[in-house]
Amino acid sequence: MLDHVSIRVADLVRSRALYDACLPVLGYQPVMTIDDAPDFKGVGYGGNSHEPAFWIGASTNPFDPAPVPVDGMHFAFSAVDRPAVDAWYQAALAHGGKDNGPPGIRPHYHPNYYAAFVIDPDGYHLEAVCHLPP
């Protein structure tokens, strides 16, 4: 349905510390960077296809206002298994993420919905989820 999503961050170095640490445990790597555009720097993360599906970027224009996440904006990243959700959560917390729900079953979605939730340094709500049984 979606080809890619991008979000604007206030500090690309700070945000990359979090995303570069937590996304690889889910199988997503930085696959493209933009550092030569006039007013923008960013990085795109992708999986096996090496096509960037999730972008973070920062304006280099000092007159641009800081980004403000839309209330309720939420990004859920697929995990291959429950240990990957656990590792993602720990990596995110260790690199600037704020706890928004530890790893565990969320039975109100379905019996095998295993997920963890963090808020990134800019206020974006993130999730890692595995739908498989243990």
How far is the C-alpha of 82 from the C-alpha of 106, rounded, in Å?
A: 13
- Where is 98: in which H helix or E strand? strand 98-99
pLDDT of residue 87 exceeding 90? yes
pLDDT digits (tens, 9 = 90+) for 10-20: 999 999 999 99
d(CA 101, CA 117): 5
The rounded distance, in Å, linking the Cα atoms of 8 and 30 is: 16
Q: Is the pLDDT of residue 65 over 90?
A: no
Residue 40 pLDDT = 87
User: Please, which pLDDT band fits residue 92 given cuts at 50, 70 and 90?
Assistant: very high
pTM value surpassing 0.85: yes
pLDDT confidence band for 107 (50 / 70 / 90)? very high
Average pLDDT over residues 24-29: 96
User: Is residue 46 scored above 90 in pLDDT?
Assistant: yes
Please state, rounded to an integer, the average pLDDT across all residues of the chain: 94
CATH code of 5-61+72-130, in short, is 3.10.180.10
